[in-house]
Chains A and B, each alone.
Chain A
Amino acid sequence: MSDLGIDLDYIMGRYNYWLFCILMMTGLYITVSRGNLIKKIVGLNIFQTAVFMLYISMGKVIGGTAPILTEVPETIYSNPLPHVLILTAIVVGIATTAVALALVVRIRESYGTIEEDEILELEHDMDFGSGAAQGDPVA
C-alpha cells in the first residue's frame, strides 16, 4: 500500500486509539449539540467510556495475559495499574451520572420539561417576563 502513501499497518495496528478518538469526539459533540438534558448525559457517558478505552489500551502488553498471578514465572502480564485506575474512574463516572440524573428529575419537576431551549425560554420569562422580579434570588 506504500504507493498510495497510506501505511495500513500504522492505521490498523492502532485501531483502538482510532476508536478512542471517534468515540471521544462523538460523545463530546452529543454533549454540546443536543438540547435534551438526558441526551447530554448519554453523550457525557460515551465521552467518559472513550477515556476508559484509552487507559485500557495503554495497559496492554503484547503477548501479555490478564494480570492474575500464575505458577509459571516467565508469564508476561498486562499492566494492571491502568485497569485499576479505570475501575476508579468508572465508579466516579457512575456517581456523576447518578447526580446528573437526579438533577434532571428535579428539573423536570420544577420546569415541566427537559428540553434546554424550553428551559431557557422559561428562565427568560422569569427574568424579563410580566412584572417578574429581575435577578431576584428569592422567587
Chain B
Amino acid sequence: MMSLIEANLPALQVVLPLVAAPLCALLGRGDRSWAFACLVTFVTFAVSVALFAETYAGTIISYRMGGWEIPLGIEYRVDRLNAFVLLIISGSAALVLPYARRIVAAEIPAERQPLFYTAFLLCITGLLGITITGDAFNIFVFLEISSLATYALVASGSWVNKRALTAAYNYLIMGTVGATFFVIGVGMLYMITGTLNLADLAVRIVEHGDSSTLRMGFVFILIGIGLKLAMFPLHLWLPNAYAYAPSAVTAFLAATATKAAVYVMLRFMFTVFGFDYEFQADTLRMVVLPLAVIAMFAASIVAIFQDNLKRMLAYSSIAQIGYILLGLTFLTETGLTASIVHLFNHAVTKAALFMVAGCFVLSAGTCSISKLGGIGRDMPWTTAAFVVGGLSLIGLPLTVGFISKWYLVLAALELGWWPVALMIMASSLLAIIYVWRVIEAAYLQPAPEGVVRKEAPLSMLIPTWIFIGLSIWFGINAMLTSTAAGRAASALIDSSHILWKE
C-alpha cells in the first residue's frame, strides 16, 4: 500500500484536489465543505513535502501518466525547481484555507460556500498541474483549469462589491488571450519538432537550430505567459482582480497564481529554449529588462497613491514581479537564484499582507487606508503583522525581502551593471513610502468616532503569523531557501548548457 502511494505521488499531487473538488460541492452547507477542503489541502501539502524531500538530493522523478511511453504519453516530471514551486503552492493553500473560514463566512452567502471551496480546490489543482507536468499542451489545459476557477473565485467577490464582476470579466478576456497566445507558441514548436514533451522539445529544438518559426514560437509564449504573470505592461487585469476578489482568494492568488506562471516562463526559457539561445538572450535584455525596471518604479509609484489597501498591495505585486523578471534577464546563476528565491519570499510576504487586509475587512468592514485610522491600537497583533510584512516588502535586513534583494543586487554587480543595482535600491525606497502610509494611518492617526473594532479571530491571526514567522525565519536563516533556489537554478543552467554547446 505504502509503496503504491509512493510510486504514484506525482499523480496524487494533482488528482487528489481534482477528485475532491466535486465531492466538496456535494457536502452541503455549513462548515463541512470547508473542513473537507482543508483536509484535502493538508494531504496535498504532505505529498508536496514528500516530493520535495525526494528530489532535494538531485533525483528527477519521471512519472508516466497512464503508463504510456514517454515522448508519446504525458510525462509528469519533478525536479528541484518544480518541487520547490509545488511546495510554495500547496503550502500557501494549506495555510490560506484554515484562515478562510471566518472571512468567507462574512463575504459569501452560506449556500454558495460549498461551490466556493470547490472552485478553490480546482484552482489549486490547476496550479499544481501547471507546475508538475512535463508536457507543453498539458500546461495549457491546467492553465485554463486554474484560470477558469480563478475567474469564478474573483467574481464571487460580487456579494460584497459588484465591481468584482467587471474585474473577473476583464481578467477572463486578458487571461484567455494570453492562454491562446501560449497555445499558438506551443503549436509553432510542435510544427518544428513534432513533440510536446518538454525534455524532448529541448533536445529537438537544438537539433533543428534557430529559425523564424522558433522565434515566433518564443515570442508568442513570452507574451502569452507574460499576460498570465502580469508582466508590465500586460498587468492591467491584476489590480482590480486582486482588489475586489474575496480576501482569502486574494491572499491565495497573490502567493501562487503569478508564481506558477513565472515557473512556466522559467521552464520554457531555460529548459526548452535553452540558456544559450541567442534570440532569447537578446529579447530578455533588450525588451524584458527595461520593462521589468519600469514595472519596479511605475507600479510602486501608482501604489503610493492608492487608498484601497488591497489595491495598493496589488500594485506592489506588479513591482515585485518586476524584480523576479529582472533576475531572469541577468542570465546568470546568481540572477536565477535571486528570481527563484524571490518566488518563495514574495509568496510568503504578500500572502501575509493580503491576510492582514482580510483581517481589517472582517473587523473594521473596510480596507480603505483613510478609514483605518488608529487601527493599530484596536488590532495590535494584526497591525504588527502588517509592519513586519511591510518591512520585508521594503527589503530590510532580517526579513526575506532582504535576501531576495541581496541576491538581485549581487547578480547585477557581478555583471558590472551598477546602474541596475542602484535602481533596485531606489525602487525599494518607494516601497518605504507606501508601507509608511499604512503604518502612519494605523498608529498615528486618531480612530474615527463611534467605530468598534475587535482584534481578528485566532483562526485568522495564526495563519497570518505563520507566514510572517516564515518571512523572518527564512530572513535570518536563509540557508534552506537559498540553497534550494541555488540548486534549482544550477540544475536549470546545467541542463541547457549541455544542449546548446554542441
Q: Which residues of A contact B (CB under 8 A)?
A: 24, 28, 31, 37, 40, 44, 47-48, 51, 54-55, 58, 82, 85, 88-89, 92, 95-96, 99-100, 103-104, 106-107, 110-111, 119, 123, 126, 133-139
- Among B141, B152, B166, B191, the residue within 8 A (CB) of A58 is B191
Query: CB distance A133 to B368 under 8 Å?
Result: yes
Given contacts A96-B148, A137-B361, contact A44 B173 (CB under 8 A): yes
Q: Binding site of A, secondary structure by majority: helix, strand, loop or mixed?
A: helix
Distance A82 CA – B169 CA, assembled complex (angstroms): 30
Partner of B184, one of A44, A54, A95, A111: A54
- Once bound together, how far apart are the Cα atoms of A40 and B489, in whole Å? 41
In the complex, what's the smallest C-beta–C-beta distance from B438 to chain A, in angstroms? 13
Cβ-defined contact, A92 with B144, below 8 A: yes
| CB–CB A126/B163 < 8 A | yes
User: Given known contacts A99-B152, A136-B366, is B166 in contact with A107 (CB within 8 Å)?
Assistant: yes
Secondary structure at chain B's binding surface: helix, strand, loop or mixed? helix
**CB <8 Å contact, B187 and A55:** yes
Contact call B368/A134, Cβ cutoff below 8 A:
yes
Bound together, the chains give a CA A105 to CA B429 distance in angstroms of: 44
| Chain A residue with the shortest CB-CB distance to B361 | A137
**Most chain-A Cβ atoms within 10 A of its Cβ — which of B166, B361, B368?**
B166
In whole angstroms, how far apart are the Cα atoms of A111 and B182 in the complex?
33
- Closest A-B pairs by Cβ, 6 of them: A135-B308, A110-B162, A135-B307, A92-B144, A103-B169, A107-B165
Q: Given that A58-B187, A58-B190 are known contacts, is A51 also in contact with B180, CB under 8 Å in the complex?
A: yes
Instruction: Indicate if the CB atoms of B191 and A135 lie closer than 8 Å.
Output: no
How many residues from B make CB contacts under 8 Å with A?
A: 43
Residue of A44, A48, A89, A133 with most chain B CB atoms under a 10 A cut-off: A89
Residues of B whose CB lies within 8 Å of any CB of A are 137, 140-141, 144, 148, 151-152, 155, 157-158, 160-163, 165-166, 168-169, 172-173, 176-177, 179-180, 183-184, 187, 190-191, 243-244, 306-308, 310-311, 361, 365-368, 370-371
Closest to B164 in A: A137
Measured CB to CB, the nearest residue on chain A to B186 is A85
* Alpha-carbon gap, A111 to B307, bound state (A): 24
Verify B141–A106 contact, CB threshold 8 A.
no
CA distance A99 to B145 in the complex (A): 12
| B165 and A110 within 8 A (CB) | yes
Known pairs A58-B191, A137-B243 / 9 extra A-B pairs, C-beta < 8 Å: A40-B173, A85-B137, A95-B144, A99-B172, A107-B165, A123-B163, A137-B361, A137-B367, A138-B366
Residues of chain A within 8 A of B165, CB atoms compared:
103, 106-107, 110-111
Residues in A whose Cβ lies below 8 Å from that of B191: 58
Q: What are 19 A-B contacts with C-beta separation under 8 Å?
A: A40-B173, A47-B177, A47-B180, A48-B176, A51-B187, A89-B140, A92-B144, A92-B179, A96-B172, A99-B152, A100-B173, A106-B158, A110-B165, A123-B166, A134-B307, A135-B308, A138-B361, A139-B160, A139-B161
Residues of A within 8 A of B306 (CB): 135
Docked-complex contact A107 and B169, CB < 8 angstroms: yes
CA distance A89 to B137 in the complex (A): 9
Residues of chain A within 8 A (CB-CB) of B160 are 137-139
Q: How far, in Å, is B179 (CB) from chain A's closest CB? A: 8
B310 nearest CB neighbor, chain A only: A137
Determine if B187 and A136 form an interchain contact, defined as CB atoms under 8 angstroms apart. Answer: no
A96 to B147, CA, bound (A): 9
For the complex, give the distance between the alpha carbons of A130 and B194 in Å. Answer: 61
> In the complex, A106 Cα to B157 Cα: how many Å?
12
Chain A nearest Cβ from B178, distance in angstroms: 12
Instruction: Flag if B151 contacts A99 (CB, 8 Å).
Output: yes
Q: Are B144 and A138 in contact (CB under 8 A)?
A: no
Nearest CB in chain B: distance from A13 CB, A: 16
- B369 to chain A minimum Cβ distance, whole angstroms, is 8
Q: What residues on B are CB-neighbors of A104 within 8 Å?
A: 169
Complex Cα spacing A44 to B187, Å: 18
Could you say which residues of chain B place their CB within 8 Å of the CB of A51?
180, 183-184, 187
Q: Which residue of A has the minimal Cβ distance to B191?
A: A58
Query: What is the bound-complex CA distance between A88 and B145, given in angstroms?
Result: 12
Would you call A95 and B148 a contact (CB within 8 A)? yes
Known A-B contacts A96-B176, A99-B148, A106-B155; the reply to A135 vs B161 at CB < 8 A is no
Give complex CA distance A88, B176 in Å.
Answer: 15
Cα of A99 to Cα of B191 in the assembled complex, Å: 31
A78 to B329 Cα, complex, angstroms? 41
How far apart are the CA atoms of A137 and B365 in the complex, in Å? 8
Q: For A135, what are the chain B residues with a Cβ–Cβ distance below 8 Å? A: 306-308, 311, 368
